[in-house]
Structure 1
Amino acid sequence: MNIRGKLIIIGGAVDKGSFTETDLDKNAVKNLNFFEAGILKRIIDESKHKEESRIEIITTASKIPREIGPEYVKALNYLGAKNVDVLHIEKREQAMDPEVLERLKTADVVMFTGGDQLRLTSILGGTPFHDIILDKYKKEDFIYAGTSAGAAAASNNMIYQGSSSEALLKGEVKITSGLGLIDGVIIDTHFVQRGRIGRLFQTVVGNPKVLGIGLGEDTGLLITNNQMEAIGSGLVILVDGREIKDTNLTQIELGQPISINHLVTHVMSKFDTFNLDTFKMHIQSSQYV
């Protein structure tokens, strides 16, 4: 199916976790230097009406939405966006409100903030709000953008919990259903800084058809149909399990270490691309060109 919309997923930047928000309420404005000008400007540039696009900030994942929302508005206004507002949806009933749904229908971009992705999916999942987002993404020149929790929740399946230090112990990584904008991938955020590669390894070895995507901070992917482009200043790690030769996954008890033989990884940086149909990566500044 040809998807008309675009997906922009961002790894986040501050120590607020993709399922916890420690210290976010302290110096919230300072912590929001993850409004990286490069990525936010790219969102505006990719949108249907550029600076005139209607952008709605969705703060559902955050525990302090009233502080976070206005900071996004300020950041986007600073970059030239003229039509930005905040939709505070904190209960499922609000995701069924006719006024809220009308605002969503007129939006060109929705920007999901960080926080707790399980909060995001449990409040929005299966509501008319969720249905409209999926429909607009499939049929319109529309952008779903999400940072941290907003990125992790974009795929069909999402990681919602799992210790970085014990991620390669069987059963330590918890997975549930996401918002379902993209299939065949699973996304983790704050990836490089928090050493979360083990979380993706365990996820991929359990179903090698799924491509693991690890987003570093101040880093994202622009996904248009099946083409992914790295944006921002950091690294995107891809974990491809299709060529796994062996594992002990089904032979060990819960809590025991997992072995994996021949797991393929790719590292992307700004302007590199990866095709989800062919699984081929193109390095923009290759030393061999």
Structure 2
Amino acid sequence: MNIKGKLIIIGGAVDKGSFTETDLDKNVANNLNFFETGILKRILLEAKHKEQSRIEVITTASKIPKEIGPEYVKAFNYLGALNVDVMNIDKREMASQPDIIERLRAADVVIFTGGDQLRLTSILGGTAFHDILLDKYHNEDFIYAGTSAGAAAASNNMIYQGSSSEALLKGEVKITSGLGLIDGVVIDTHFVQRGRIGRLFQAVVGNPRTLGIGLGEDTGLLIKHNTEMEAIGSGLVILVDGREIKDTNLTQIELGQPISINHLVTHVMSIYDTFDLKTFKMTIKSSQYAENLTFTKEDIASERTVR
């Protein structure tokens, strides 16, 4: 199937330029790097009509939608996108209201905020909103962006619970169905900061065909055609590939017992690195083994100093 939409999944804590600060304008210089190269800017660059795109911020997952929604509106406005609004769908019946459906049909970009991914799927799953969202993603030049809960819910399999410290005890990680935009992966967020790699290990050992994706904060993946993944943002993406697992005790132990895994493959991606979901091949953008390396003035100066 040729997927026309784009998926942008973000690990949480997106640096929106510290809009909670009252002296934003005085500190703009500190935020310029984000505005120029950060994730929200990349969303606009990938959007159908760039800054003129119709953007809807979906705050369903959040318990503080009135606070978080305007944060995103301000951030996008600062980047030049003025056609931005907030949809707070907090009841299932709202997901079928004509005005909500009309706004979704008109949207070029939807961005799902953080919060509770189970709240997100339990409210939107199986509704008219959900059906149209999938149709637009499959058949239009459309972007689904999700941060934290919005990212975790994007895949067919969704982690919704699990202790980081006890993640490799059998049964500690809970998985249910997500929104189903992409299959064959399971996504975890706030990955590096909250030490959640064990959660992905358990998710993958239970079905080694599934690729585990761990997103650090202010870090994400741009996925095109549901196959081409590019790392964006300031941190790390961890991939857990279970296809070459040689052995495990998973089916021999009781609930709550430690899981053993032999030969689990991991990859670490940073900005501009790519990964192909068809071939499972990773390409490091700034590989030290590249044939045509580019050198900065600092590199040359450093070489001369050593010599």
TM-score w.r.t. structure 2 length? Answer: 0.87
Aligned to 1:285: 286
Q: Name the counterpart of 1:17.
A: none
Counterpart contact for 2:96–2:128, Cα < 8 Å: yes
**Following superposition, which runs of at least 4 residues in structure 1 exceed 6 angstroms of deviation?**
none
Percent identity, please. Answer: 83
Partners of 2:231 and 2:173 in 1: CA distance: 26
Which one has the largest radius of gyration? 2
Does residue 29 (structure 1) correspond to residue 30 (structure 2)? The answer is no
| CA distance in structure 2 between the aligned counterparts of 1:29 and 1:110, rounded to whole angstroms | 22
Instruction: Quote the Cα distance in structure 2 between the aligned partners of 1:155 and 1:275.
Output: 17
SS state at 2:182 partner: coil
Residue 237 of structure 2 is matched in structure 1 by 236
Deviations 1:130-182 (A, max 9, x none): 00000000000000000000000000010000000000000000000000000
- Encode CA deviations 1:218-272: one digit per residue, 9 max, x unaligned: 1000000110000001000000000000000000000000000000000000000
Measured in 1, the distance between the counterparts of 2:275 and 2:68 equals 32
- 1:22 alignment counterpart: none
Q: Does 1:256 align with 2:250?
A: no
- The alpha-carbon deviation at position 28 of structure 1 amounts to 9.2
Is the 2:216–2:237 Cα contact (8 Å) retained in structure 1? yes
Count of aligned pairs between the two proteins: 274
Q: What is the CA-CA distance between 1:192 and the residue it aligns to?
A: 0.4
Query: Residue 153 of structure 2 corresponds to which residue in structure 1?
Result: 153
Residue 118 of structure 1 aligns to a residue in which SS?
A: helix
How far apart in 1 are the matches of 2:150 and 2:88? Answer: 14
- The whole-number CA distance in structure 1 between the counterparts of 2:60 and 2:193 is 25
Q: Would you say 1:179 and 2:170 are equivalent positions?
A: no
Partners of 1:93 and 1:181 in 2: how far apart? 22
CA distance in 2, matches of 1:205, 1:211: 10
| Distance (whole Å) between structure 2 residues aligned to residue 3 and residue 28 of structure 1 | 35
Letter in 2 for 1:235: L
Provide the aligned C-alpha RMSD in A: 1.4
SS state at 1:242 partner:
coil
Find the residue that maps to 1:184 and give its secondary structure: strand
Q: What amino acid is the match of 1:29? A: T
Conservation of the 8 A alpha-carbon contact between 1:211 and 1:241:
yes
**Post-superposition shift, 1:43?**
0.2
Instruction: Give 3-state SS (helix, strand or coil) of 1:214's partner.
Output: strand
Aligned twin of 2:293: none
Displacement after TM superposition at 1:13 (Å): 2.0
Contact 1:28 1:67 in 2 (8 A): no
Is residue 89 of structure 2 the alignment partner of residue 89 of structure 1? yes
Alignment partners' CA distance in 2, 1:72 and 1:288: 40
In structure 2, the residue corresponding to 1:239 is in which secondary structure? strand
Identify the residue that residue 106 of structure 2 maps to in structure 1: 106
Consecutive unaligned residues of structure 2, counting only runs of 5 or more, are: 22-30, 291-307
What do residues 96-123 of structure 1 show as CA deviations (whole Å, max 9, x unaligned)?
0001000000000000000000000000
Aligned 8 A contact 1:28 1:68 in 2 = no
Deviation of 1:29 (Å) = 2.7
Residue aligning to 1:274: 275
Taking the aligned partners of 2:131 and 2:66, their CA distance within structure 1 comes to 25
Q: Cα distance 1:9–1:96, how it changes in 2: closer, same or farther (>3 A)?
A: same
**Within 1, Cα distance between the matches of 2:13 and 2:212?**
20
Q: Secondary structure at the match of 2:85?
A: strand
Contact 1:168 1:257 in 2 (8 A): yes
Are the aligned partners of 2:19 and 2:74 in contact in 1 as well (CA < 8 Å)? Answer: no
Q: Structure 1: how far apart are the matches of 2:120 and 2:194?
A: 22
Give the whole-Å Cα distance in 2 for the aligned partners of 1:82 and 1:2.
31
* Letter matched to residue 11 of structure 1: G
* Distance across 1 between alignment mates of 2:71 and 2:202: 36
Pair 1:65-2:65 in alignment: yes
* Pair 1:13 & 2:13 matched: yes
Q: Which amino acid aligns with 1:229?
A: E
The letter for the 2-side match of 1:224 is: K
